[in-house]
Copies of this chain bind each other. A is one copy, B any other.
Amino acid sequence: MKRRRFRELGIASSGFEAGPANAITDVAGVRVGQITLIKGKGALKPGKGPVRTGITVILPHGGNLYQEKVRAAVHTINGFGKAVGFEQVREVGLIESPIALTNTLNVGLVMDALVQHAIRRNPEIRSFNAVVGETNDGYLNDIQGRHVKAEHVWKAIDMASSGVVEEGAVGAGTGTVCFGWKGGIGTASRVIPGALGSFRLGALVQSNFGRPSDLMIGGARVGRLIKPEVQRDRTREGSVMIVLATDAPLDARQLGRLCVRAGAGLARTGANFSHGSGDFVIAFSTANRIPQAPMARIGKIDMLMDEAPVIDGLFQAVIESVEEAVLNSLTCTETMVGRDGHTAQALPLELLLDILRREGLET
């Protein structure tokens, strides 16, 4: 069966409607760019290859992010990771950088690439808060090689676009493993019902977490019924990065509340938040742009009232989008063979459908 997005399997869905692309790019202005690096095969030669990695960038809008920042929050579910830029986002509640996802040992180089990019666009710059997340693709990839170079980052930014987002073994998801299967990039979105304001919320994940036996899909304990042929305890190197975007006018505190709910979406896929898993969430709102050099001391800001029921709608949208984004990362990807012949099998869709049918989950 051809690889496809989860909802194209015909599984009964529920909850809110997805946006037109069912992707983080359903939030107007958000762009995604990805570079996939696949090179060589066979035995690992540290620093040489084989290469199974990449870069994924998420841009909150198409303008100059340093000059026009967006409100943002970050949240750490389990901090065993190397995310960069979190301290300043916590303090000022703003993101001024593309959000870049890469592999664990490549974070420094990607951070530097974002700094160089910001300098080129803003020649006067002397301070810049790059935001980078990572997961560990060392099971398939020559991770010590740090093969994502500045040029890849810049190209990913340049080619970033709205609309359809490629999923599976692409970009920063090229070499990741999720519940023992091939994971990768996944995305999904929800539209809050009109009575609650018609806001949109999208999630993008880089999935690299979970033990085979824990996988749950639509409530079905799939991981107990099918397991990848080659099993390996991925627990202690797993991780997941989650990026949330919305056009609802939220401030940093409210965006932080959204981040917390992303963990509930993960949990519904079977996540245990294991010791060695760096599980991080980054959320931003496109509703208010905050200039680097504000014209006035006081701004008139649109702000969603927490007491309005819409905030619970957004919470639900986060949970649904994150869960579906993880599933998309699993169902869209092909099998990947990496270094030393290490293989991450694609979750077999026929078997999956059988299981879900048996559990009455098919439409």
Contact = CB atoms under 8 A, between A and B. Distances in A.
Given A263-B263, A294-B307, A272 B312 contact: yes
A299 B316 CA distance: 22
Contact of A219 (B123, B219, B293): B219
Nearest to A252: B253
B146 A112 contact: yes
Nearest to A308: B297
B79 A88 contact: yes
- Determine how many copies of this chain the complex contains: 4
Given A127-B237, A144-B126, A300 B302 contact: yes
A64 interface: no
A92 interface: yes
A358 interface: yes
A111 interface: yes
Nearest to A79: B91
Interface stretch (A27-35, A54-62, A273-281, A328-336): A273-281
Contacts of A85: 82
A83 interface: yes
Contacts of A90: 76, 79
A360 interface: yes
Contact of A88 (B80, B251, B266, B308): B80
Interface stretch (A1-9, A17-25, A100-108): A100-108
A87 interface: yes
A308 to B, nearest CB: 4
Contacts of A130: 82, 108
Contacts of A273: 260-261, 264, 315
A307 B299 CA distance: 11
A292 B271 CA distance: 25
Place the interface of chain A in its size category: 35 or more
Given A146-B112, A219-B219, A267-B268, A298 B126 contact: no
Contacts of A126: 104-105, 136, 138, 143-144, 237
B260 A115 contact: no
A257 interface: yes
B303 A257 contact: no
Contacts of A266: 264
Can you list the 7 inter-chain pairs with the closest CB atoms, starting with the nearest? A79-B91, A108-B112, A219-B219, A108-B111, A267-B267, A126-B138, A264-B267
Given A46-B119, A105-B115, A297-B304, 20 more contacts: A80-B91, A82-B130, A84-B84, A88-B278, A108-B130, A112-B112, A119-B144, A127-B138, A236-B312, A260-B273, A264-B271, A274-B315, A275-B307, A275-B311, A293-B307, A296-B308, A297-B310, A299-B302, A300-B300, A358-B360
24 contacts: A46-B119, A76-B91, A78-B91, A78-B260, A81-B87, A82-B88, A107-B111, A108-B110, A108-B112, A115-B146, A119-B144, A125-B144, A216-B219, A218-B221, A219-B219, A236-B309, A263-B267, A264-B272, A272-B316, A275-B312, A297-B305, A298-B304, A298-B305, A299-B304
